[in-house]
Amino acid sequence: MSIQFTQGRLKPLALAVAVGSAIVCQSAAAQERAFSLPEQSLATSVAEISRQGQIQLLYDKSQLNGLRAPALSGNYSPQTALQKILIGSGLELVSENGVFVIRQQNLNQGTLVLPETQVSGLVQNHPATDVMSAPQYVTAEEISQKNTGDGNITDLMKTNPAVQFANNDSNSMNQGEIKPSRVSIHGSSSYQNAYRLDGVSFNNDFDPADSGLGETSTRLSSSDQGIYIDSRLIDSMTVYDNNIPVEFGGFTGGTVEVNSRRWQGENSAHAYYRLTRSGWNNLFHDSTQGIDTTKNDTSNPARFQNRYDKNDFGGWFELGVSENSGLVFSASRRSSTIPMTVTGGEAFVLENNQVEPITTDSGKKNQRRTSDNYFLKYSLDLSDKSSLDLSANYANYDSRLFSSSISNSGYDSTHNGLGFTAVFKHQLDLGQLEVTANTQDLKDDRKNDQKYSLTIRAFDKNWNMIERNSGGLGDLESKQKTHGLKTVMRFNSQEDALGLTHKPTLGAEVNYTKGTYVRDQDYFRYTYTGDIINNDLYDGYLSNVTRFKKGSYSADYTNYAIFLDDSIQYGKLNLRPGVRLDRDDFVNRTNIAPRLSGTYDVFGDGATQLIAGANRYYGRSMLTYALYGAQNDGMQNCLGYGKDFACSLNPDNNNWDNKKDYEGIDSLKTPYNDELTLALQQEILSTTWRLQYVHREGYDEVRTRTKYDTRDADKRSIRMYDNGGRSSHDTVTLSVKNSQPWEWADASHVMNASFTWQQTESNTPKDAGYNSFDPANKVNLNKVWYDGKVIDASKLPSTSFNSPIKLNLELTSVWDEYDVTWYNRLQWWGARSQAVRYDNSYYSDPEVGQLRKYTKQNFASKYTWDTRLGWKPDFAHGFGFSVEVNNILNNKNIADRFMFEDRVLKSYDPGRQFWLQVNYDL
């Protein structure tokens, strides 16, 4: 039992960490248990050891504030485990009248001596102790100290050396957005990362590469993530990017594992409110083109945003239901209001089968973004060996968009997900059995104010061509339903006859996925031609109609996987061989992914370790492979010639020309990456240094191409999927972090730094997705023209996610005496050269034919300094305050260049930005 005391008087606290189901005496403290704890706050480690060890423990929690505990891995008695994490803290563990007490160290009062114990040198399950993979691991406490921006989980990856962000996802022109940014891990496509919540995937398997709000009549703009999780509500996040265990599959980049909060045996409540405004942010822009919201069109209705207001609020509470069960409920809302200037004026609509003029007002009109998160988990400790967690999560993202220059163009887009998960864990004599069952529904939906699009092209009295537009892109809906079952057996360590120690993991999973694409009514695009006099259409006729027929189309597949690995220790050598077998009934292939990683403890003391690995990772099957044909198969055209041969508003009277542009899949394979890694890790004083090299080769990446080499107008634009994508990536990283907090200036300091060099080459644009298509039917996709010469397309530098050199430095400082926390993040990006194709031009080579033409664009180096200052004084009774400042030096850094109105413009990173927050802990 964990109880706290102050100045010799005992008192139970509501915020004491979980109580064991039985209070035992020192005999329990002598029994060895397997502990696997990450580096984290001392208070958290103390509470967890007390809970697992079921020992009676008294302490003053205020003495632990701001102190860090080292990672702890191995078999210890709870007494020994506590003593180990207290080393260097100035605190000690003593026994008073049969009760363990943590107090200020006093060498005159019989400090307990560490008993001898056997420590397992095998890799433990906890990510913070996995030396082979060395994933990024972020706890809830660390999240509360960092600059979290919009609160997406990708915001926590900004200093991960393996992660690259899309060049233009977050720039000064679109700061009103709250969607997660796209990330590439070791050069892979952003949609080929695996996102998991409590072991369950929340990936979006519809084409998610374009998240820039560029929508069309046949597809919805979405995201890599099927659920936009609020990072401030989670317990921890782990990012695996190399030497990834076989338990994880369905990616060629990396795995992002998010863990939700679990009831810890206490009642508590926590709340926060954050806000920022465009007036608190310096928005840089190209001097030749201001941030003009009237320039937003249907293809990109939110490209320019010069004003916004953002408000975030949320919280969670933990409530005990019985002695051995409890609830955690969390909720949050993130919202943004983005005022736009609408031009208004004259336009036309259809009323009673007639073209009628309308006039719309000019002025300000708000676009909106709202992201809601709700999570409920019920945790039950069935016995000292079994537990059951039942959870439900719902996330909804809603946006209101419109084109500033087109009448009645407004539409509502929603992106939501609902999931249910059950996790059962049972400790057997052989090890721990874990069973996870889940069901999940994801949905993207677009609803337009005007259900059709109308364009009027006519001449005025001065014979000037005038164009008037109204309407939107049509109603659409896509749904993704998933059911899954996963079983994992994590065996205890056991020694064989040869003296080898084994710790195997065996598992299997099955997942059923169904995607549905729905257009609930025919959508029409009408074009009228005529003369306009005094805003009336004369001699007009319906010159063109495009119809997208209503319908519902579905595709499904089942994925099966089995996996096995074994952590083998022999002396100084640890090996983790493993294999994963995946098969789905869509591509009908069995994919075998061998994985091998290992460490060698050079001197046997854990201070110097060599790490190496050779692994294969297979990616995901995408629902769009099967549904793309359905999305476009319903497209029909009617072309009218003059008033005598005009099209009709009655679709039954038209001669429709089917315009299918897709003819299937050519024996698709699953894309995969082969990886080689080599690393050296060294402990120096109280710091851990790691020098690491990762090489990736990407094969069978899916892309689209023209199917026929012909000038036939009916065939030249028809596309198909193939596995012609190819990429290569290299990363070299030197990282350092302190394994124990540094104490100076009356504060504790935790540092994490890295210096990274990366290079990515690919023959397919990583920011465009597998539906990226070049309609020129004679293009040689295996070669490109780049910077004055013809090269292999696979050697083309990446067009995004392409900063070659990056320096990250994080420093968190805590002054317990003043209840102050100060977080600083310094980032520097080296100069880069980028392959660009602003005008979609081609180059004709006499030997290899027509090629895509790219030029080299140089970008200067840049740096930013972000900071967050938090204050939670004792006299505020649980209230805390913080100010977050991004780009504190207000550097004007170029993010990217893009084509707009036949000009190449620069986009910039945001300038100095302020966030304010107030929070309350009860």
CB atoms within 10 A of CB 640: 20
Binned at pLDDT 50, 70 and 90, residue 60 comes out as confident
- pLDDT at residue 920 above 90? yes
Closest to 898 in 3D by CA, of 299, 219, 164: 299
Would you say the C-alpha torsion 48, 49, 53, 57 has a positive or negative sign?
A: negative
Give the number of other Cβ atoms within 10 Å of residue 7's Cβ. 5
Element (H, E) at 625: helix 623-633
Contacts of residue 614, Cβ cutoff 8 Å, sequence gap at least 6: 594, 595, 596, 597, 674, 675, 676, 677
Distance CA 517, CA 623 (A): 10
Per-residue burial over 126-163, b = 16 or more CB atoms within 10 Å of its CB, e = otherwise: bbbbbbbbbbbbbbbebbbbbbbbbbbbbbbbbbbbbb
Question: 881: buried, middle or exposed (CB in 10 Å: 19+, 13-18, 0-12)?
Answer: middle
Beta-carbon contacts of residue 139 (< 8 Å; ≥ 6 apart): 38, 40, 41, 44, 235, 236
Question: How far is 204 from 467, CA to CA, in rounded Å?
Answer: 38
Distance CA 779, CA 764 (A): 14
Mean pLDDT confidence for 43-67: 78
Q: What is the pLDDT of residues 301-342, one digit of tens each?
A: 888 999 999 999 999 999 999 989 999 999 999 999 999 999
* Listed range (344-358, 412-426, 488-502, 770-784) with the worst mean pLDDT: 770-784
Q: Which residues contact 142 (CB under 8 A, 6 or more apart)?
A: 812
Residue 612 makes CB contacts below 8 A (sequence gap 6+) with 597, 598, 677, 678, 679
Q: Which residues pair with 768 in a beta bridge?
A: none
Closest CA to 590 of 579, 600, 598: 579
Top pLDDT among 82 and 95 is at: 82
Length of the chain, please? 922
**Is the pLDDT at 27 greater than 50, yes or no?**
no
- Give the pLDDT score at 626: 74
Please compute Rg for the chain using Cα positions: 30
Burial 468-492 (b: 16+ CB within 10 A, else e): bbbbbbbbbbbbbbbebebbbbbbe
Instruction: For residue 118, report the phi and psi dihedrals to the nearest 5 degrees.
Output: -90, 130
Q: Rounded to whole angstroms, how far apart are CA atoms 525 and 605? A: 72
Query: Which ranges of 93-145 would DSSP assign to H, the alpha helix?
Result: 140-145
- For CA atoms 631, 633, 639, 644, give the dihedral sign: negative
Give the pLDDT score at 292.
86
Question: Beta 842-845 vs 879-886: how paired, if at all?
Answer: unpaired
The predicted-structure confidence for 850-888, as pLDDT tens digits, reads as follows 888 888 989 999 999 999 999 999 899 899 999 999 999
Q: What is the pLDDT of residue 395?
A: 96
- CA separation for the pair 694, 612 (Å, rounded): 10
Tokens 């096995």 found at: 564
Average pLDDT, the chain: 86
pLDDT of 548 over the 70 cut? yes
- 696 phi and psi, to 5 degrees? -125, 140
* pLDDT recorded at residue 775: 62
Q: Which two tokens stand for residue 563?
A: 């996996």
Q: Is the pLDDT of residue 631 over 90?
A: no
Residue 15: pLDDT over 50: no
CB 256 within 8 A of CB 229: no
Give residue-wise pLDDT tens across range 805-860: 999 999 999 998 899 999 999 999 999 988 888 877 888 888 888 888 888 989 99
**Low-confidence winner among 45-59, 486-500, 589-603 (lowest mean pLDDT):** 45-59
> Which of 411, 663, 642, 676 is closest to 539 using CA atoms?
642
What is the pLDDT at residue 770? 67
* Per-residue confidence (pLDDT) for residue 124, from 0 to 100: 41
In this prediction the pTM is 0.86
Q: Mean pLDDT lowest for which of 20-24, 157-161, 434-438, 476-480?
A: 20-24
Nearest-angstrom CA–CA distance, 713 and 314? 56
Q: Which two tokens stand for residue 430?
A: 């052989």
Q: Which residues pair with 679 in a beta bridge?
A: 611, 692
- Packed helices 42-53 and 78-86: angle between N→C axes, nearest 10 degrees: 170
- The band of 768, judged by pLDDT with boundaries at 50, 70 and 90, is low
Strands 789-792 and 354-360 turn out to be unpaired
Cα distances from 864 to residues 184, 308, 805, 887, in angstroms, run 21, 22, 14, 5
